[in-house]
Chain A
């Protein structure tokens, strides 16, 4: 059963994304939203954690939340897919359950 995880905290502020990556099963997906989008940025201390986890987990980031923070889609870790709210809705339907890491 595949699960969609949503993480709305920056990995530099809380360890929600760490816990999520540690506990997410292979084949599940993680959507970074709100301040969580910071975790998607390239060339940070966190980028490698995301790249390493990508072999088992699909990563998505919410485009409008990147834009709201002045962060560019061109500057995110390779392999992360940018989605809008419609894409967010699709992700929730494509996975059987949704877990929000608040």
Chain B
């Protein structure tokens, strides 16, 4: 089956990012496909390239990046939510005259249409948030 996953909460906030990641991993292990993970609202902070958690703690953005690399999962940050929170990829940084970008590997910035498409294309859309 094809899954769409929506993450509405930032990393290390409550549990949504961890739950969503564990769910995605379990779905892949069972042979399902993750069509897309869409990060909305504070969820866009999951895609930061600048997180440096303590060494004995899980690295949530890296976990996503690795999942994307190993299983070709499409990780999408909502552009409006990302810009508000200072999450910029190279193009967006240039376009807005900013000196740096901070979107982690495997993530891309795009619009809300990508969430709608995930809702249409996937067999199930599972929402994680607080």
Q: Give the B-binding residues of A (Cβ under 8 A).
A: 6, 8, 33-35, 64-65, 84-86, 88-90, 92-93, 97-98, 100, 102
Contacts and interface: CB of A to CB of B under 8 A. Distances in A.
Interface stretch (B14-22, B52-60, B62-70, B100-108): B14-22
A100 B23 contact: no
Contacts of B3: 92
**Chain B: interface size category:** 20 to 34
Contacts of A89: 23, 26-27, 30, 32
B80 interface: no
A85 B128 CA distance: 14
Contact of B129 (A84, A97, A98, A100): A100
Nearest to A9: B130
Nearest to B29: A86
Contacts of A86: 26, 29-30
Nearest to B32: A89
A97 B32 CA distance: 16
